[in-house]
Amino acid sequence: MPTENELLSNVDALLEQVAQDDLPPPAERRRLREAAGLSQAQVAKALDTRREAVGNWEAGRTEPRPPQRAAYAKLLEKLAERFPSPAAEAALEPEVPETFTAAPAPAAPTPVPDASAPAAAKPPARPAASTTRPSSTSRRPAAKKAAKKDAAPAAAVDPRFENGPLAVVDCEDGQVSAYCVGGLVLDVPAKSLPALVDWTITEAKLGQPRLHRNGRDADPILVLTPAALERYGLPAALSDEERRAGRLKDSHKVVKQIQRAGLQLTQRGFGPWARVFRDPEGSRRRCVQLCIPPWNALDAREWDKKDDPQLPGMHPADLARYLGTYAQRVMTPRGTTSTTGLELMTALRPPTRAEKDEATGAFKSAKNADALTAVYEHVECEVPDEHPLLKGKFERHHLRTPAEMLMEEPYDWCRPLTDEECMLPYLVAIDVNMAFAAATNGLTVGLGAPTRLERPAFDPKAPGSWLVDLSHVDLSRVQIDGRTVDGDLLPSPFTPKGDHPTGPAWYATPTVAYAQELGFDVSPIEAWVRLESGRYLDPWYNRLRDAYVATMADLGVTTKMGGQEFLDTMAVHKQVDPTMALLLNAIKSTAKGGIGKLRQRSRGAVPYYEEWPALKRETWRPDIRAAVLATVRIGMHRKILKTAAATGRYPVAIGTDCIVYPSTGPSPLDVLPYTDEGKPVPGTFRLGVSPGMVKHQGTQTVLWAEAQFEEAGGVFNLSNLIKTDQSAGEGE
Tell me: the pLDDT tens digits for 534-558? 999 999 999 999 999 999 999 999 9
Residue 52, pLDDT > 80, answer no
Torsion angle defined by CA atoms of residues 132, 138, 140 and 142, in that order, rounded to the nearest 10 degrees: -20
Residue 205 lies in a domain: yes
pLDDT of residue 101: 33
Residue 150, pLDDT > 70, answer no
Question: What b-and-e string marks burial along 596-628, b requiring 16 or more CB atoms within 10 Å of the CB?
Answer: bbbbbebeeeeeebeebebbeeebbbbbbbbbb
Alpha carbon separation from 522 to 512, 517, 533 (Å, rounded): 7, 10, 22
pLDDT of residue 10: 61
Q: How many C-beta atoms surround the C-beta of residue 386 within 10 A?
A: 17
- Express each pLDDT in 417-451 by its tens digit: 999 999 999 999 999 999 999 999 999 999 999 99
Alpha carbon separation from 394 to 390, 556, 594 (Å, rounded): 7, 54, 30
Beta carbons of 193 and 252 less than 8 angstroms apart: no
In sequence order, what DSSP letters do the residues of 329-354 get, joined into one string? HT----SSHHHHHHHHHHHHS-SEEE
Q: Are residues 204 and 80 in the same domain?
A: no
HSE-up of residue 163 (Cα within 13 Å, Cβ side): 25
Binning pLDDT at 50, 70 and 90, where does residue 729 land?
very low
Strand partners, 365: 354
pLDDT of residue 11: 55
Residue 47 lies in a domain: yes
Residue 80 lies in a domain: yes
Q: Are residues 320 and 197 in the same domain?
A: yes
Closest CA to 475 of 461, 495, 449: 495
Residue 628, pLDDT > 80, answer yes
Residue 505, pLDDT > 50, answer yes
pLDDT of residue 87: 56
Residue 127, pLDDT > 60, answer no
pLDDT of residue 142: 35
Residue 18, pLDDT > 70, answer no
Q: Which of 86, 119, 144 is the last residue of a domain?
A: 86
Q: Are residues 192 and 302 in the same domain?
A: yes
Segment 621-639 shows an average pLDDT of 97
Residue 134, pLDDT > 60, answer no
Residue 360, pLDDT > 90, answer no
What pTM does this model have?
A: 0.79
Q: Are residues 82 and 202 in the same domain?
A: no
pLDDT of residue 39: 82
Least confident of 16-25, 240-249, 251-260, 394-403: 16-25
Q: Are residues 165 and 74 in the same domain?
A: no
- Express each pLDDT in 638-659 by its tens digit: 999 999 999 999 999 999 999 9
Segment 144-168 shows an average pLDDT of 66
Beta carbons of 256 and 168 less than 8 angstroms apart: no
Closest CA to 22 of 104, 85, 77: 77
Cα–Cα dist 377/527, whole Å: 15
- Express each pLDDT in 58-90 by its tens digit: 887 788 887 888 888 888 888 888 888 765 544
12 contacts: CB under 8 Å, gap ≥ 6: none
Residue 498 lies in a domain: no
Q: Are residues 66 and 201 in the same domain?
A: no
Residue 104, pLDDT > 80, answer no
Q: How many C-beta atoms surround the C-beta of residue 460 within 10 A?
A: 14
Segment 582-600 shows an average pLDDT of 96
For residue 98, the 8-state DSSP code is S
- Express each pLDDT in 192-226 by its tens digit: 999 999 999 999 999 999 999 999 999 999 999 99
Segment 601-610 shows an average pLDDT of 82
Binning pLDDT at 50, 70 and 90, where does residue 310 land?
very high
* Number of domains comprising the chain: 2
For residue 616, the 8-state DSSP code is G
Closest CA to 430 of 659, 97, 718: 659
Least confident of 4-13, 170-179, 704-713: 4-13
Q: Are residues 61 and 204 in the same domain?
A: no
Segment 310-319 shows an average pLDDT of 94
For residue 680, the 8-state DSSP code is B
Helix (H) or strand (E) holding 698: strand 694-701
Residue 644 lies in a domain: no
Beta carbons of 340 and 331 less than 8 angstroms apart: yes
Q: How many C-beta atoms surround the C-beta of residue 54 within 10 A?
A: 30
Binning pLDDT at 50, 70 and 90, where does residue 600 land?
very high
Segment 573-582 shows an average pLDDT of 92
Q: Are residues 322 and 209 in the same domain?
A: yes
Q: Is 578 helix (H, G, I), strand (E, B) or coil?
A: helix
270 contacts: CB under 8 Å, gap ≥ 6: 247, 248, 252, 254, 255, 258
Closest CA to 527 of 422, 441, 451, 635: 451
- Express each pLDDT in 365-391 by its tens digit: 899 999 999 999 999 999 999 999 999
Q: Is 695 helix (H, G, I), strand (E, B) or coil?
A: strand
Segment 277-305 shows an average pLDDT of 93
Binning pLDDT at 50, 70 and 90, where does residue 153 land?
very low
How many Å from the N-terminal Cα to the C-terminal Cα in the chain? Answer: 80
User: Rounded mean pLDDT of the chain?
Assistant: 85
Residue 2 lies in a domain: yes
Where would I find the beta strands (DSSP E) of 344-410?
Answer: 352-356, 363-367
Segment 712-719 shows an average pLDDT of 85
User: Could you give the angle at which helices 578-596 and 622-647 cross, rounded to 10 degrees?
Assistant: 110
pLDDT of residue 16: 52
Q: Are residues 164 and 269 in the same domain?
A: yes
Helix (H) or strand (E) holding 708: helix 702-712
Q: Which of 335, 362, 379 is the last residue of a domain?
A: 335
Q: Is 453 helix (H, G, I), strand (E, B) or coil?
A: strand
Residue 161, pLDDT > 80, answer yes
Q: How many C-beta atoms surround the C-beta of residue 127 within 10 A?
A: 18
DSSP H helical ranges for 86-151:
86-92, 141-150
Cα–Cα dist 20/18, whole Å: 5
DSSP H helical ranges for 36-192:
40-47, 51-59, 68-82, 86-92, 141-150
Binning pLDDT at 50, 70 and 90, where does residue 731 land?
very low
Q: Are residues 72 and 184 in the same domain?
A: no
Beta carbons of 322 and 168 less than 8 angstroms apart: no
The amino acid present at 459, given as its one-letter code, is D
Binning pLDDT at 50, 70 and 90, where does residue 609 land?
confident
pLDDT of residue 368: 92
Q: Which domain holds residue 316?
A: 159-335
* Domain at 8, CATH number: 1.10.260
Beta carbons of 441 and 476 less than 8 angstroms apart: no
Q: Are residues 70 and 163 in the same domain?
A: no
Q: Which of 271, 302, 335 is the last residue of a domain?
A: 335
pLDDT > 70 fraction of the chain, expressed in percent and rounded: 86
HSE-up of residue 387 (Cα within 13 Å, Cβ side): 22
Least confident of 97-111, 370-384, 465-479, 609-623: 97-111
Cα–Cα dist 340/583, whole Å: 14
Residue 685 lies in a domain: no
Q: Are residues 32 and 179 in the same domain?
A: no
**Between 358 and 122, where is the model more confident?**
358
Closest CA to 79 of 8, 137, 139: 137
Residue 133 lies in a domain: no
- How do strand 221-224 and strand 166-172 relate by DSSP bridges? parallel
Residue 355, pLDDT > 90, answer no
Beta carbons of 430 and 662 less than 8 angstroms apart: no
